[in-house]
């Protein structure tokens, strides 16, 4: 019984964070990605292309949080959904640094 209440509290807390993200970014859509024993990642993409993620302790908690927040969930992170993500110089530099030996990751993040 205590585990159920704890899961409900965690889902409610995550739902508040998702709702706040959606408010800041003109809405939000999401995708759930299983992380194994670590839980489930809730990947969020805002209406303005901003993105972020949260980690829930289980898939059930992640799904409940997304439902409470009222966001659309996608089955996968590809196609039209992935095309909505907007990245800036920080992300491009970081990806280049990781993938092809590009510049270091010490560029300041743009707002």
Rounded Cα distance between 21 and 52, Å, is 8
- pLDDT one digit per residue (tens) for the chain, 111 residues: 469 999 999 999 999 999 999 999 999 999 999 999 999 999 999 999 999 999 999 999 999 999 999 999 999 988 888 889 888 777 667 666 555 554 554 544 444
The number of CA neighbours under 13 Å toward the Cβ of 57 is: 10
Residue whose C-alpha is closest to residue 82's, from 29, 42, 27, 14:
29
Given this model, what pLDDT does residue 67 score?
Answer: 97
Contacts of 107 (CB under 8 A, 6+ apart): 89, 90, 93, 94
pLDDT tens track for 41-73: 999 999 999 999 999 999 999 999 999 999 999
What tokens were used for 38?
């670590």
Q: Which residues pair with 27 in a beta bridge?
A: none
Contact yes or no for 14/61 (Cβ under 8 A) = yes
Given this model, what pLDDT does residue 88 score?
Answer: 77
Given this model, what pLDDT does residue 97 score?
Answer: 56
Given this model, what pLDDT does residue 96 score?
Answer: 60
**DSSP secondary structure letters along 72-105:** EEESSS-HHHHHT----HHHHHHHHHHHHS-S-S
């Amino acid at each position: 019984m205590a585990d159920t209440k704890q899961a409900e509290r965690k889902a409610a807390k995550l739902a508040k964070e998702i709702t706040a993200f959606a408010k800041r970014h003109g809405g939000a859509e999401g995708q759930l990605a299983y992380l194994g024993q670590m839980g489930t990642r809730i990947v969020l993409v805002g209406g303005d292309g901003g993105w972020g993620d949260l980690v829930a302790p289980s898939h059930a908690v992640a799904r409940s949080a997304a439902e409470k927040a009222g966001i659309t969930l996608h089955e996968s992170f590809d196609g039209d959904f992935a095309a909505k993500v907007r990245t800036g110089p920080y992300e491009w530099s970081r990806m280049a640094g990781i993938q092809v030996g590009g510049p270091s990751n010490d560029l300041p993040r743009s707002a």
